[in-house]
Amino acid sequence: MEAAEPTSPAPVQPARSGRRPRDMAMSLLVLLVPIAIVVGAQKYLFDGDKPIAVSPAQAIADARASGAFPVAEPGPLPDGWTVTSARFQRPADGATLRLGYVTPDAEPALLVQSSVPADQLLARELGDTAKAGGPVAVDAVSWQRYDSTRGEPALVLREAGRTIVVVGATDEPTLRELAAAVS
């Protein structure tokens, strides 16, 4: 008798899992619903869209203690203004106090007080190609309007020993509110 040649086993077909696209969609839905609930709760129940407020007191105190320039502490602002950053720096060319705000219309604004020479400060804060405009009266104090390189309006007050710059991605009347708080 002749020996029978061994036959190769038939390829094993993987069993179909029986999953359909609808099952995948249901699995994703089960994951996305709790995420949507958490995000919604954070936003609506815990005011997740509000900017995080910081106290400018320490930065203002540091600026005053340095004696580099007369520091004007901003007075009370209307509701909706939030201080979001406060920093005092003293590099070699002069001292600078920066207070960042979020305006009532949710736009950023910056208040800068500095002993850095005015032309140097304006180039740093507004850009090299900032354009000076006309005077703007803020509480009987004459500020000068500028258009920054980024197209943002700015108000500048040059005084002996310091320069104050108010700039932001908002309209000029809103910047005047901030300028009035330091006048």
Question: Is 136 within 8 Å of 155 (Cβ atoms)?
Answer: yes
Q: How would residue 4 be classed by pLDDT, with cut points 50, 70 and 90?
A: low
What confidence tens digit (pLDDT) does each residue in 54-78 have? 999 999 999 999 999 999 999 999 8
CA distance 62 to 162: 16
22 has a pLDDT exceeding 80? yes
**Mean pLDDT, to the nearest integer, of 127-135?**
93
The number of beta carbons lying within 10 Å of the beta carbon of residue 175 is: 26
- Which of 10-19, 49-58, 154-163 shows the lowest per-residue confidence on average (mean pLDDT)? 10-19
This prediction's pTM: 0.75
What pLDDT is stored for residue 3 in this prediction?
63
CA separation (Å) from 134 to 20, 126, 131, 144, 145? 69, 16, 10, 6, 6
- DSSP per-residue string spanning 28-72: HHHHHHHHHHHHHHHHHTS-TTSPPP---HHHHHHHHHHTSS---
What pLDDT is stored for residue 98 in this prediction?
97
Per the rule left: phi > 0, alpha: psi between -120 and 50, beta: everything else, 90 is beta
What pLDDT is stored for residue 59 in this prediction?
97
